[in-house]
A and B are shown apart, each in its own frame.
Chain A
Amino acid sequence: MTHKNWKKFVGMGFLLLAIILAGCTKKEENIDGVVTGTDGLVISFVENFPQEKYIISPGETQSFTVVVDVKNKGAYSLETESTPETGDPLLNANLSIGGFDKGIIDIKPTFETLYNKNLPAASPLSPNGGFDSITFSGDIIANKLEVNKYEPTILATACYPYATKAGPNVCIDPNPFDTKQEKVCTLGSTTLTSQGAPIAVTKIDQEASSKKLRFKITIKNEGNGDVISLSSLSKCSSPSDRLEREDFDLVNLTSVKAGTVNLLGNCSPFAKQGTHLIRLFDGEGFVVCTVDTSDASKLGSTSAYLTPLIVELKYGYRTTVSKQVSIRKLE
């Protein structure tokens, strides 16, 4: 073999090695200064809690433990104030388990509050966010299990309040139809990326008339869970009350400001009169907020300028994970 062929072989070898290494998963790190993504609380079962398979003998009682990891990967902190206010939705945040026959798998209680957990928001300094684990302990009662094989799917459901804050720059132009004047910005649509929360402000469309500037703010449920009205969060784990259809898909618009100008009072439509609830249809909703451009003194400028449109949303969110377990009873 010539020297040239030898080089070829070594080169091919390295190429092969590179292909193999490329197959390995790589952990991505986002060192961007802003928390993005569509996660809020992320829950998962700790491996082997519950186990995939249990084998029990007649007359035996075997422990059954469910441990759920809760991570706050979003940008909204779920840390409790030292003295939470009455009505603080965080008081109704909880994690519950279900899906099994409670006569056979005896776990009490089946829900745990999240309000006193260590769940600060993810941030550039703490990109992984807050983390806590919740344990549900109980027993499988063999004598109550009349079948040899029982395969329930264990569900863990977290219900929690969350918030989305977006602040894209928008153009405020008191004279939108004056084309002769040189302007620093022009009206148009802005598409946004996620904001570190399951509900994202996805688009801001602007439309001008002679005296008004309208912002159409489109929001979308980008997460895998369900949006619940904040006031209905307590129903999530209530044994006597249950979530009805009208409790879902309601997002509270808590603040809209164009710079220092508060637009909340000039927004519509809302799902219910006297509220600021945006209704989502197929996971998507919008609200139109209006700025009166006739009074330049309120805007603070007579020419076009860029300013952040701060949109704040608050809502309840429900996310679920499941795991099938197999319980085998030996005869």
Chain B
Amino acid sequence: MNKKINFIIVMMILLAVAGCSGKKSNNSLTDADIRVGTDGLKMEFLQNAPPKNVFEGGSFPISLRIKNAGASNIGDDPKTEDVVEQSGIVVFGFEKAYVGLVGNVKDKASNLNEEEKIALKTAGIDEVSLTSISTISQKKPEDLTDADKLLLEKFIETLTNLTAKKPIKISGKQIFNPNGDEDFIGITAWTKKIGGQSETKPTTIFATACYPYKTILDASVCIDTDVTGQRRGQKSCKIKDIDFGDGQGAPVAITKIETKMLPQEDEGKVKPHFIIYLKNAGDGQVIKNAAIETACSNKPLSYRDFNVLNIMATLSGVELDCNPDESIGPGATEARLRDKEDMIRCTYEGKDGSIGIDANLDAYTAPLKIVLDYGYTFTISKDIIIEKVLTY
């Protein structure tokens, strides 16, 4: 009897469960929102590269894992061979008195690759000089002439600068690659003598990235020509401030857009007006696009090179006027961040010579695109200790 009861109860539960609609996974391939977050390029030293302790006169690896965690490509996309974008740069820094990138000069002089040969030639070191470098490097320091020292210094400096500076091209997040690409950069460094009085010498290895980046915001904004809210009935949309707390997949984020409709003298027209709030939400510095190369070199940067970015905005494909100078008109405009933030005003002036938007139109949703174009730079570091090889 008990079995019968159990069977009936189980059947009833099954029937009831069958009546419920099951939850179906509905994750679309194209639903991934890639323009989210405030990361751009991310960079870290690999474990033990450099190692925490290295020995005097020895070589050690320096390796970086770089990841483009934002939504903009750095350099042309190697996969799609898209439009060529400016490449980024990673440059390694160290105390040249204790760390170098050229080990045995004689071996190096006889084992140069094409890129190094071109760099040396550009620096004025031809084939003949290279042959003499092999000989000079064998001499004792006290036997070196001033010309020998100069040639050796130039050789080492040229090769160090070349090795320490690496161009980077790395794709950002894309719909079908929602995590962005990763790459590794590795170089070999050599420790120098740390002096007779020291058993150890702490020093620091730096890696600085300088790269171009873009923040692209795609938003749907409400264009309601009913400025005074007099019209009756349901509207397709309502004007409201839009907050973007999650970033757009780039270190500079658009945090908020305020929309206003400006009535015109001609009562039949209104001009949409947007107040765009920007913020450097990353850990690095915004630099001018043109200063990217300089930022990753030993040349100095002017204060005018920092915190400057270009802004370009379109509404329904029509460029907005974001320039405070009324005589300039629509197009890309330079903005300057103060305390990492700024606010830009952009106005829709009109299309094809007409002013604003016809005030007779019903409310509708229009696409607003904002593109911020800038350079970005940041530095990471790792402390190492150079140890003397003690033989007693």
A residues lining the B interface (CB < 8 Å) = 1, 6, 9-10, 13, 16-17, 20, 53, 55, 98-104, 144-155, 157, 226, 239-240, 242-243, 245, 248, 318, 320, 322, 328, 330-331
Contacts and interface: CB of A to CB of B under 8 A. Distances in A.
28 contacts: A1-B1, A1-B5, A10-B8, A16-B12, A17-B16, A20-B19, A99-B364, A100-B236, A101-B367, A102-B364, A104-B316, A104-B367, A144-B317, A145-B367, A146-B317, A146-B367, A147-B218, A147-B219, A150-B367, A152-B220, A152-B236, A152-B365, A155-B236, A157-B233, A240-B360, A242-B231, A243-B233, A331-B175
B273 interface: no
A245 B317 CA distance: 33
Contacts of A148: 35, 218
Given A13-B9, A153-B236, A245-B232, 15 more contacts: A10-B8, A20-B19, A98-B236, A98-B362, A99-B365, A103-B316, A104-B367, A146-B367, A147-B220, A148-B218, A150-B365, A242-B231, A243-B231, A243-B233, A322-B234
A313 B220 CA distance: 42
Interface of B: 1-2, 5, 8-9, 12, 15-16, 19, 28, 30, 35, 174-175, 218-220, 230-237, 314, 316-317, 360, 362-369
Contact of A318 (B5, B233, B235): B233
Contacts of A154: 236
Question: Which 8 pairs between the two chains have the least Cβ-Cβ distance?
Answer: A99-B236, A147-B218, A152-B365, A147-B367, A320-B234, A151-B220, A155-B236, A153-B236
Contacts of B316: 101, 103-104
Contacts of A147: 218-220, 367-369
A227 B35 CA distance: 45
Contacts of A1: 1-2, 5
A239 B175 contact: no
A239 to B, nearest CB: 7
- Interface SS of chain B: mixed
Given A20-B16, A98-B364, A331-B175, A320 B233 contact: yes
B367 A330 contact: no
A320 B362 CA distance: 13
Contacts of B237: 99, 152-153
Contacts of B220: 147, 149-152
A150 B314 CA distance: 14
Contacts of A248: 232
A309 B236 CA distance: 41
B18 to A, nearest CB: 11
A104 B16 CA distance: 47
B359 to A, nearest CB: 9
Nearest to A155: B236
Nearest to A224: B234
Nearest to A238: B360
Nearest to A145: B367
Nearest to A147: B218
B221 to A, nearest CB: 10
Nearest to A24: B19
A44 to B, nearest CB: 14
Contacts of B218: 147-150
Residue with the highest number of chain A CB atoms closer than 10 Å, among B30, B363, B364:
B364
A243 B360 contact: no
Contact of A17 (B1, B12, B365, B367): B12
Nearest to B230: A245
Nearest to B234: A320
B360 A153 contact: no
A231 B35 CA distance: 50
Given A1-B1, A6-B5, A55-B30, A99 B219 contact: no
Nearest to A23: B19
A104 B28 CA distance: 24
B299 to A, nearest CB: 36
A101 B364 CA distance: 7
Contact of B1 (A6, A55, A240): A6
A144 B318 CA distance: 10
Residue with the highest number of chain A CB atoms closer than 10 Å, among B1, B237, B367, B368:
B367
Contacts of B174: 331
Nearest to B226: A242
Nearest to A325: B365
A239 B2 contact: no
Nearest to B359: A242
Contacts of A101: 316, 364-367
